[in-house]
Amino acid sequence: MGRKGAARGDEEFSFVSPVVKYMLFCFNMIFWMISLLLISIGVYARVTKHETALACLTVDPSILLMIVGVLMFFITFCGCVGSLRENICLLQTFCICLTIIFLLQLAAGILGFVFSDKVRHKVTEMINNAIVHYRDDLDLQNLIDYGQKEFACCGGLSYMDWSKNIYFNCTDDNPSRERCSVPFSCCLISKDERVINTMCGHMMQDLDHNKASAFINTNGCIDKLVNWIHSNLFLLGGIALGLAIPQLVGILLSQVLINQIQDQIKLQDYNVQHRSDPWS
């Protein structure tokens, strides 16, 4: 009688909480819709380019957007279906994926702080690679122009880095009309100026630093970016925390739900065993 009473008591108090279940489902549904939006934007941006050849993966924003969207779609799909169907396998996949991503982000932040010189070198390589492909990808071109205007900079280390691009190359045998020039986003443009002269960077690489500084931003974007990071550490910390909290919430909710489902399964197995053996 004692065991049967205990079993009935466990049956009363052991259950899968609908609050946890549907909180996790709604949590994943929101990010699942965001993932679909990212994929749609990436596909649209890729299709509208009408390019036969893909740009370099590391500098094509549309492809990177699709990769992030597909990864989010897979993870949130596991979370949505796993929570709704109370499927332990899908919930564990969701929890493990989120944990791995969180640990990778944490490791990247620590390594970036410890090996800041190597990170700076890698960022320099990425920016130089983006400069090389400036005219190959419209999204990349708009991204570089936006960055140079926002940070009031030009090139990676200096405005002379634009010579790495085949169109802006300053060699004598370059037939391009943009030879020895820089993009218009490098120019010193007045806020009152309504019509932008897109040729304002023409032949700027032929001028020395002092003369060129009267017409364009001569400082490189890497130094400006580093200075901006140092000046906005609290903002970046807040963004990192904002990205980490949803991940930790997802991990916590999925783990709680997994434990509840496992307890329910154990209770059902216990009840089945004792119903088949009433004398135990």
- Whole-model pTM: value is 0.69
254 neighbors 95 (Cβ within 8 angstroms)? yes
State yes or no: pLDDT of 9 exceeds 50: no
- Note whether residue 235 is domain-resident: no
Same domain, 62 and 153: no
Residue 154, both tokens: 């030009």
Same domain, 111 and 249: yes
Torsion over CA: 56, 61, 177, 216 (sign): negative
d(CA 241, CA 86): 29
Rounded to the nearest 10°, the torsion over CA 122, 126, 129, 131 is: -130
Same domain, 114 and 127: no
Same domain, 254 and 192: no
Range of the domain at 81: 2-118+245-276
Instruction: List pLDDT tens digits, range 75-120.
Output: 999 999 999 888 999 999 999 999 999 999 888 888 877 777 787 8
pLDDT of residue 6: 42
pLDDT of residue 277: 59
Mean pLDDT of 211-234: 87
d(CA 149, CA 153): 7
Same domain, 112 and 139: no
